[in-house]
Amino acid sequence: MSANELWGGRFAKGPAEIMERINASIDFDRRLYRQDITGSMAHSSMLMDQGIISREDGEKIQEGLQTILREIEAGNFKTDPALEDIHMHVEARLRELIGDPAGRLHTGRSRNDQVATDMRLWVRDTMDHLDGELKALQEALLGQADAEADTVMPGFTHLQAAQPVTFGHHMLAYLEMFSRDRARLKDARARLNECPLGSAALAGTSFPIDREMTAKELGFDRPTANSLDGVSDRDFALEFLSVASICSMHLSRLAEEIVIWSSAQFRFVECSDSFSTGSSIMPQKKNPDAAELIRGKAGRSAGAFTCLLMMMKGLPMTYGKDMQEDKEPVFDAADNLQLCLAAMSGMISDISVNRVVMKNASGAGFTTATDLADWLVRRLDMPFRNAHHVTGSLVKLAETKDCGLEDLTLADMQTVESSITDEVFEVLGVDNSVASRVSYGGTAPSNVRAQVASWKQRLAGE
């Protein structure tokens, strides 16, 4: 059967070969097959219940659709670009299997509401799967946070050593980021979960269909309230791509840190062999390629979002063939995000932490200077701005002596501020520094362990 036959008698001859090529989407929309068949099963059940088609024809349609599903999953389904998309392929094959009753399936619907429904179903399924992948990554981060709650490392601003923190605290920061990504997925899923099926081409249908029934059978909360919006809305796809872009950005930031941390200049961590590659010319190299690829793929998610946004911005109501271009960016972003989440989970689970190197680096760059300023405020009742000035002078003194703040003698310090006592040395070690950061959300190991316990309970309950 040709596309011409499915379109009906309006066309006297078939399309040009180049038209077939630009018009066909079967090469990429074939992955909607399960959602398309699921939607058609629900639609045919509703048509039977409403008496719009006979039960005999409806049951033949259902059996035929089940056969097609088995054929596709077994890899025995042939495609033809002349049939354009997965929807026409399923309908054409159904006609081959059951004959004329297949023609009744499309009663009360259009390809416009059909594809809108299929895409919502596919994006919803993908969101649910990605939520599981995000949870797995959170669990990997939580495992490292638990193991490294006391591991001191330098915290950075401007990529300059700022204050000591713990590696466990750093891992929990990313766990929080990915928690927001999961929340965004949940929010977007809730808005997505309305069923366009029954909107038909754009104006609804004169057949006595039951849209509540099809919406319920397909797991939607309700049918869409406006037929024009039902077939033309792609906000759900844009929201998904927005979430994917933000999540990919978070993955890229973590990947960038892994690249930096695993360099010879840092040596904070080592990636496992499973997530590294070598060099074709330099035998000593062990490259964090998985992290670099995750960092690189983030641009594809952002590009997919921009692509769909620009495509939609110029479209009037309701459907234009431009909207066929919604699928490839959505599919590409979903595939890459799934791959990157799995790779990052593996990397984080397998990563080795060099605790000694991290601790040695955490004291470099006068990272306890803020602790010294805080001590001057607490113990000497000095205004913070004065304490900031005194501490800056002590840092300058330490630089001239080529030593750390903790290596200055009390006499050295008293040349800058005579009221300093030897109690100041209690706050200058990096361990003392991190232990003192007990404010809610701070880096103290006691805080990290409390957050780890809280997150374990939270994730176990999901």
Phi/psi-derived region of residue 168, left when phi > 0, alpha when psi is between -120 and 50, beta in every other case: alpha
Cα separation of 38 and 22, whole Å?
Answer: 27
Query: Angle of helix 86-98 relative to helix 55-73, nearest 10 degrees?
Result: 120
Cβ atoms of 300 and 336 closer than 8 Å = yes
Strand 222-223 to 194-195 pairing: parallel
Question: H-type helices in 152-234, by residue range?
Answer: 167-192, 211-217, 227-232
Q: Are 275 and 290 in contact (CB under 8 A)?
A: yes
**Which residue, 173, 185, 186, 159, is CA-closest to 348?**
173
Residues 6+ apart with CB under 8 A from 434: 152, 164, 165, 166, 443, 444, 445
Active-site entry in 54, 263, 279, 352: 279
106 is catalytic: no
Instruction: Give burial (CB, 10 Å; 0-12/13-18/19+) of 274.
Output: exposed
- Annotation says 279 is catalytic: yes
**Inter-CA distances, 380 with 125, 377, 384, 386, 404, Å:** 61, 6, 11, 11, 22
Distance between CA atoms of 452 and 458, rounded to whole angstroms?
A: 10
Residues tagged active-site = 158, 279
